[in-house]
Amino acid sequence: MTPSTIQCAPGQGQGAPAQGPGAPEQGPGRSSSRTWLLLVVILASGLALLPLLTLVKDVLINRGESRLELGFDDLRQVRGTLLLVAGEGLLGAVVGTAIGWLTAVCRFPGRRWLRIAQLVPMAFPAYLLAASLIDWGSYRGLRIHGLGWAIVLLTLANYSYVFLLSTESFSVSGRRLLEASRSLGVGPWRSFFRVALPIALPSIGAGIALSAMEVVNDLGAVRLLGVPSLSAGILDRWQVDGDPQGAALLSLVALAIVAVLIASERQLRQRSRRWNLEGGTGSAHVWHLAGWRAALAQLFCVLPPLIAVAIPALWIQQGWQGLQSESFAELGQLASRSLGLALIATAVTCLGSLLLAICRRWSPQPLVQQLSFIAGLGYAIPGSVLALGLIMLGGPLGFSPVLLLLWGYGDRFIAVSKQALDAALERIPPSIDETATSLGCDWLAVLRRIHLPLLRGPLLVGSLLVFVDVVKELPITLALRPFDFDTLAVRVFQYASDERVGAAMAPAVMIMAFGLLAALALVPTLEQRD
Amino acid sequence: MAQNRPQEVNVYSGRHYNTDKQLYSEFTRRTGIKVNLLEGKDDELIQRLKSEGNNSKADLLVLVDAARIYRAQEANLFRSIRSAELNKDVPANLRDPKGQWFALTRRARPVMVNPAIVKPGLIRSYSDLSRPELKGKLCLRNRASVYNQSLTADELVRRGKPATRQWLQGMLANTKRPFFTSDTPMLRDVGQGECGAAVANQYYLARMLQDKNSTERSTAAKLKVVWPNPTHVNISAGGVTRSSRNPEGAQRLLEFLVSPQSGEGYAAANNEYPLKGWGNNPTLKAFGTFKASPVSMEQLGRRNREAVQLMTQAGWE
**Cα-only R_g, chain A:** 23
Please indicate, yes or no, whether residues A481 and A514 belong to a single structural domain of this protein. yes
> CATH no. for residue A297?
1.10.3720.10
Examine the domain organization and report whether A296 and A361 are in the same domain: no
> Is residue A22 a part of any domain in this protein?
no
The number of C-beta contacts closer than 8 angstroms across A and B is 105
Single-letter code of the amino acid located at A360: R
Same-domain check for residues A161 and A267: yes
pLDDT at residue A11, as a whole number: 37
- A497: nearest CA partner in chain B: B182
B48 near A CB under 8 A: yes
B44 and A478: CB-CB below 8 Å? Answer: yes
On whether both A349 and A302 belong to a single domain, the answer is: no
pLDDT digits (tens, 9 = 90+) for A172-191: 766 777 778 888 888 888 88
> Is residue A245 within 8 Å of A55, Cβ to Cβ?
no
Residue A284 and residue A431 share a domain? no
Task: Please tell me the predicted confidence (pLDDT) of residue A37.
Answer: 77
Distance CA B82, CA B77 (A): 17
Same-domain check for residues A286 and A391: no
Across A482-510, average pLDDT = 86
Range of the domain at A268: 70-310
Q: A286, A310, A334 — which closes off a domain?
A: A310
pLDDT of residue A367: 83
How far apart (Å, rounded) are the C-alpha atoms in residues A247 and A243? 6
A68-77, A468-477, A504-513, B290-299 — most confident range: B290-299
Mean pLDDT of all residues in A115-129: 89
Is B245 part of the contact surface with chain A (CB cutoff 8 Å)? Answer: no
pLDDT at A6 over 50: no
CA dist A517 → A116, A126, A337, A486, B52 (Å): 12, 18, 16, 21, 37
Check if the beta carbon of residue A516 is closer than 8 Å to that of residue A123. yes
Best mutation target, A77, A239, A390, A404, to test chain B (most B CBs within 10 A): A239
Q: A-chain residues within 8 Å CB-CB of B180? A: 226
3-state secondary structure of B192: coil
Please give, one letter per residue, the 3-state secondary structure of A233-300: HHHHHHHHCCCHHHHHHHHHHHHHHHHHHHHHHHHHHHHCCCCCCCHHHCCCCCEECCHHHHHHHHHH
Burial of A282 (0-12, 13-18, 19+ CB in 10 A): exposed
A41 with A93, same domain: the answer is no
Identify the pLDDT of residue A291.
Answer: 93
Residue A173 per-residue DSSP state: S
Say which of A391, A486, A500 has its CB closest to residue B48.
A391
* Yes or no, beta carbons of B178 and A236 under 8 Å apart: no
Distance CA A267, CA A272 (A): 9
> Residue B71: what are its φ and ψ, rounded to 5°?
-60, -40
Quick: pLDDT tens for A285-298: 678 999 999 999 99
Contacts of A321 in chain B (CB under 8 A): 212-213
Is residue A299 located within the same domain as residue A402? no
Q: How far is CA A382 from the centre of its chain?
A: 14
Q: Are A378 and A412 in contact (CB under 8 A)?
A: yes
CA A357 – CA A41 distance, rounded (Å):
9
Q: Which one of A318, A478, A499 has the shortest CB-CB distance to B183?
A: A499
Q: Say if the Cβ atoms of A135 and B212 lie within 8 Å.
A: no
Quote the CA–CA distance of A222 and B102 in Å, as a whole number.
34
Cα dist from B78 to A159, B20, B54, B61, B275, whole Å:
46, 21, 12, 8, 21
Q: With a threshold of 0.90, does the pTM exceed it?
A: no
Residues of chain A with Cβ-Cβ distance to B52 below 8 Å are 391, 395
Res A325: pLDDT: 67
**Do A322 and B75 lie within an 8 Å CB cutoff?**
no
Contact (CB<8Å) A134/B182: yes
CA distance A510 to A490: 12
Looking at the structure, do residues A328 and A238 belong to the same domain, yes or no? no
Q: By three-state DSSP, how is residue A13 classified? A: coil
**pLDDT tens string A98-114:** 999 999 889 999 998 99
Tell me which amino acid residue B210 is: Q
Residues A381-403 have pLDDT tens digits of 778 778 878 887 886 777 888 99
Q: How confident is the model at residue A5 (pLDDT cuts 50, 70, 90)?
A: very low
User: Closest to A392 (Cβ–Cβ): which among B51, B211, B216?
Assistant: B51
Is A64 domain-assigned?
no
What ipTM does the predicted assembly reach? 0.87
Chain B residues whose beta carbon lies within 8 Å of the beta carbon of residue A143? 185, 189, 194
Chain B CB contacts of A240 below 8 Å: 43, 71
Residue A482 has pLDDT above 90, yes or no: no
Contacts of B175 (CB under 8 A, 6+ apart): B138, B139, B140
Number of domains chain A is built from: 2
Chain B residues in contact with A502 by the CB 8 A cut-off are 211-212
Nearest to A319 among B38, B57, B213 (CB): B213
Walk me through the domains of chain B, giving residue ranges and CATH numbers: 8-107+234-287 (3.40.190.10), 108-232+290-313 (3.40.190.10)
Contact A500 B207 (CB under 8 A): yes
Which of B46, B179, B182 is the closest to A239 by Cβ?
A: B46
Res. A272: pLDDT tops 80: no
Residue A15 has pLDDT above 70, yes or no: no
Burial (0-12, 13-18, 19+ Cβ within 10 Å), B11: buried
Nearest to B194 among A141, A236, A478 (CB): A141
Residue A491 to residues A186, A477, B24, Cα–Cα distance (Å):
54, 11, 19
Pair B102, B95: CB distance under 8 Å: yes
Range among A55-64, A494-503, B84-93 rated most confident? B84-93
| Chain A residue numbers touching B74 (CB-CB < 8 A) | 242
Pairing state of beta strands B224-226 and B138-139?
unpaired
pLDDT of residue B1: 44
Domain edge (last residue) among A251, A285, A310: A310
Measured from the Cβ of residue A393, the count of other Cβ atoms closer than 10 Å reads 21
Q: Write the DSSP string, B79-92.
A: -----HHHHHHS-G
Contacts of B174 (CB under 8 A, 6+ apart): B129, B130, B131, B132, B134, B135, B136, B137, B138
The region, left, alpha or beta by phi > 0 then psi within -120 to 50, assigned to residue A515 is alpha
Q: Does residue A378 sit in the same domain as residue A412? A: yes
Lowest mean pLDDT among A250-254, A300-304, B234-238: A250-254
The mean pLDDT value of chain A amounts to 82
A139-143, A151-155, B10-14: the lowest-pLDDT one: A139-143
Consecutive H or E run containing B33: none
pLDDT in tens, A313-331: 999 888 777 777 667 888 9
CB contact B51 to A (< 8 Å) = yes
> Is A4 part of a structural domain of the chain?
no
From B16, B53, B185, residue closest to A494, measured CB to CB: B16
The low-confidence residues of chain B, meaning pLDDT below 50, are: 1-3
Q: Is residue A239 part of a domain?
A: yes
Interchain contact, A73 vs B312, CB within 8 Å: yes
Percent of chain A past pLDDT 90, that is, above it, reads: 29
Report the first-to-last Cα separation within chain B, whole angstroms. Answer: 49
| Residue A23 domain-assigned (yes or no) | no
- Are both A280 and A342 inside the same structural domain? no
Count Cα neighbours of B79 within 13 Å in the Cβ-side half-sphere. Answer: 18
Same structural domain, A302 and A409: no
Sequence-distant (≥ 6) Cβ neighbours of residue A42 within 8 angstroms: A371
* pLDDT (0 to 100) of residue A528: 65
Contact check, Cβ <8 Å, B189/A322 = no
